[in-house]
Amino acid sequence: MSDLYRSALSSRIAKLPLNPPDDGSEDNEEEEAANSIGDLPSSSSNMAPPSISRQRRKPKTPDSAYSPLSASSCFEQAVMVSVPTTGLDIRVYYTPPSTKSGNSGPGTVAILHPGAGYSGLTFALAAQEITRTTKGDLGVLALDPRGHGKTSSHPKPTSGVEDLSIDKIVQDFVELVKVLYPDAKSAPTLLLTGHSMGGSVVTRASPLLQDAGYNIAGVAVLDVVEGFAIEALPHMNTLLNSRPSGFDSVEHGVEWHISNNQIHNLASARISVPATLVTNDTQRGPAVLWRTPLRDTAPYWEGWFKGLSESFLSVRTARVLILAGTERLDKPLMIGQMQGKFQVVVLANVGHMLHEDDPARTAEVLVDFWKRNERVVIGSKVIKKVGES
């Protein structure tokens, strides 16, 4: 359960994690050298957000200690994948399974789905650790969901607000997998991993992919419990009002995440936060804004989490729930745990962004989970870039 949920339930109003604005820092590096990650730098609302209509003031000087970092050492590729059935061009960050050890076959890939407001780069350091500790035997693939990061819709929504209903983003996920691996029989085994809202996506996508013939090694859900997420929803607008509408610079956005304990790991924040921000092209308000304003997603909040526990318990594969701190389970999960239906791992000294706060420990848990449920790693399958035959 997130710091946000904890704050809501305990009435300790804390600032909510930011929503993504894209300052264009990734695009500025020659559009990432033709999509090569080697150049990668890193409604129900009844309360209006703080006004940004005032004339923009002179910004404070950015602190270089919070400047963006490249994710080039974390993934081998950054590509745009066209998914015609959903009208999306989806940004994917990918390191294929290694063939150095003489493995043959498609291997196994951990597909990492971020939570609301974050891009695939939230998993950058955890992905790097997975690659390092498995010597590349376990591939990793992180994605920017609809309305997040560099993923774009065609046509763009007329209202400016993406449809982030659970059914829509589950469909996006399933269709992406089908484009990446058109032949389910020759596709790699998939380890589905999702943080917060992303945990709900991969949980619901798992049976759909299995029905389509894909082999699912397991489902890992990071820091979300349905019962407490639902209880926190009435407090969300108050929490959202406590955070800034934007920042003077990307560096100030990174600094805000660290100083407000939204992310505890500065290196990770310098990679992930820039992808959550976009440049404000007007002459009013902050210089950078959230890429995915969470307030606009309010109509979808309940749908993201309602039924999650039942869906998780009914998944036809191995399951692990990774939580931050000492958390309670809701009643269905408590019963399921007593029946031995899934594994629970609690990480210490982390917040809601546990995979950013402690990427090494998160990677260790995921790798151990994978090894227990997919003991034989058999080679790799290279994902083709958009436009390749």
Active-site hit among 148, 195, 352, 355: 352
Residue 353, pLDDT score: 97
Which of 14-18, 180-184, 330-334 is least confident? 14-18
Which of 40-49, 112-121, 174-183 is least confident? 40-49
Active-site hit among 196, 200, 272, 380: 196
What is the DSSP secondary structure assignment for residue 188, as one 8-state letter?
P
What is the DSSP secondary structure assignment for residue 300, as one 8-state letter?
G
For residue range 344-382, list pLDDT tens digits in order: 999 999 999 999 999 999 999 999 999 998 753 333 344
- Per-residue burial over 288-302, b if 16 or more Cβ lie within 10 Å, else e, is bbbbbbbbbbbebbe
The one-letter code for the residue type at 207 is P
Of 368, 381, 367, nearest in space to 110 by CA = 367
Q: Looking at domain 3-44+69-373, what is its CATH homologous superfamily?
A: Alpha/Beta hydrolase fold, catalytic domain (3.40.50.1820)
* pLDDT above 90 (res 332): yes
For residue range 77-120, list pLDDT tens digits in order: 999 999 999 999 999 999 999 876 556 678 999 999 999 999 99
Is residue 72 flagged as an active site residue? Answer: no
Q: How many Å apart are CA 321 and CA 225, to the nearest integer? A: 9
| Cβ atoms within 10 Å, residue 313 | 17
Domain ranges of the chain: 3-44+69-373
Is residue 252 flagged as an active site residue? Answer: no
For residue range 273-325, list pLDDT tens digits in order: 999 999 999 889 999 999 999 999 999 999 999 999 999 999 999 999 999 97
pLDDT band at 327 (very low <50, low <70, confident <90, very high): low
Q: Exposure of 38 by Cβ count < 10 A (0-12 exposed, 13-18 middle, 19+ buried)?
A: middle
Q: What is the pTM of this model?
A: 0.83
pLDDT band at 51 (very low <50, low <70, confident <90, very high): very low
Is residue 352 flagged as an active site residue? Answer: yes
For 250: left if phi > 0, alpha if psi spans -120 to 50, otherwise beta; the answer is alpha
Strand, coil or helix: what is 80?
strand
Active-site hit among 23, 144, 223, 248: 223
Share of the chain above pLDDT 70, in %: 79
* pLDDT above 70 (res 149): yes
Work out whether strand 77-83 and strand 88-95 pair parallel, antiparallel, or are unpaired: antiparallel
Work out whether strand 343-347 and strand 152-153 pair parallel, antiparallel, or are unpaired: unpaired
